[in-house]
């Protein structure tokens, strides 16, 4: 017997229909290398192994779940005990797809780590808290993480999933998103760009001139009296480039 660990935010997805929707959304082919984040008891893992793919790596942090996953016998499967918030995905290949029912408490960190490993992750399908999923897909008030993700990926909101499809039932709805890497994304220093975005999005009601020197804003062609919600993603990237040039 195993016991779910509350501190790891474990909610097992039980719905076969939703599990298959996740698998179908990955658009798998025979030469794909897929990474599943948080394999849990293997509900999604077993379905993914029915699809054509070259290799399935499953990252799982919980020792008891790792042992349960290792019971699944398939030559395409490799189970790795690891923390997906810090894992070097690019160590597994140059063209990866990733998926997972992400724990609510670390979902944003995993999305951020996906962006850090963008050079080798071409597509991802993630289950997250619905509020976060909608933000990342640009369907509600955006965050710094929305801008970070969508600078490098196109994000689609695929569906909402009610709590009754999980055990234990979470207190909120979940949302499924798909991300596809942009091939014309700007070449940016991700840690520095993240730092810049978090500066812009802190104290959102403050005017930009309270956060960024006015000479930088004016050179970027942005009104210093505006707030971050009033400028576009393209303007933010332009502002970042000027900021890096002049600072």
| Residues 229/141, Cβ–Cβ less than 8 Å | yes
- The band of 1, judged by pLDDT with boundaries at 50, 70 and 90, is very low
Q: Percentage of the chain surpassing pLDDT 70?
A: 96
Domain spans of the chain, in order of start:
6-181, 190-246
- DSSP E strands: which ranges in 75-228? 77-81, 96-101, 121-129, 153-161, 166-167, 174-181
Per residue in 64-99, pLDDT tens? 889 999 999 999 999 999 999 999 999 999 999 999
Q: Taking the CB of residue 71, how many other CB atoms lie within 10 A of it?
A: 9
Phi/psi class of residue 126: alpha, beta or left (left: φ > 0; alpha: ψ in -120 to 50)?
Answer: beta
pLDDT band at 11 (very low <50, low <70, confident <90, very high): low
What are the C-alpha distances in Å from 145 to residues 84, 85, 201?
17, 14, 10
Highest mean pLDDT among 14-18, 20-24, 227-231 belongs to 20-24
Is it true that 6-181 and 190-246 share their CATH fold?
no
CATH number of the domain at 6-181, please?
3.40.50.150
What percent of the chain has a predicted confidence (pLDDT) above 90? Answer: 77
Question: Residue 177 in contact with residue 136, Cβ under 8 Å?
Answer: yes
Give the model's pLDDT for residue 117: 97
The model scores a pTM over 0.85: yes
Token couple for 41: 């008891």
> Quick one: average pLDDT of 112-123?
97
* Superfamily per CATH, domain 190-246: rRNA adenine dimethylase, C-terminal domain (1.10.8.100)
Q: How would residue 204 be classed by pLDDT, with cut points 50, 70 and 90?
A: confident
pLDDT category of residue 45 using cuts at 50, 70 and 90: very high
């Amino acid at each position: 017997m195993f016991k779910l660990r509350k501190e790891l935010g474990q909610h097992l997805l039980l719905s076969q229909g939703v599990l298959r929707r996740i698998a179908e959304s990955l658009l798998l082919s025979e030469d794909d290398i897929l990474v599943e984040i948080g394999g849990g008891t293997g509900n999604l893992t077993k379905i993914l192994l029915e699809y054509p793919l070259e290799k399935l790596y499953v990252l799982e942090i919980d020792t008891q779940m790792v042992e349960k996953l290792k019971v699944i016998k398939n030559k395409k499967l490799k189970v790795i005990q690891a923390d997906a918030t810090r894992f070097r995905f690019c160590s597994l290949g140059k063209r990866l797809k990733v998926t997972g029912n992400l724990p609510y408490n670390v979902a944003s960190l995993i999305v951020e780590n996906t962006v850090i490993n963008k050079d080798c992750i071409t597509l991802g399908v993630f289950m997250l808290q619905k509020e976060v999923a909608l933000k990342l897909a640009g369907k509600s008030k955006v965050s710094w993480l929305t801008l970070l993700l969508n600078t490098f990926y196109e994000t689609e909101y695929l569906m909402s999933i009610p709590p009754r499809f999980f055990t234990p039932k979470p207190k909120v709805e979940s949302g499924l998103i798909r991300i596809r890497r942009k091939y014309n994304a700007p070449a940016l220093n991700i840690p520095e760009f993240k730092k810049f975005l978090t500066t812009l999005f802190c104290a959102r009601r403050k005017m930009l001139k309270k956060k960024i020197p006015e000479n930088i804003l004016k050179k970027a062609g942005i009104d210093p009296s505006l707030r971050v919600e009033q400028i576009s993603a393209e303007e933010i990237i332009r502002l970042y480039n000027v900021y890096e040039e002049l600072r």
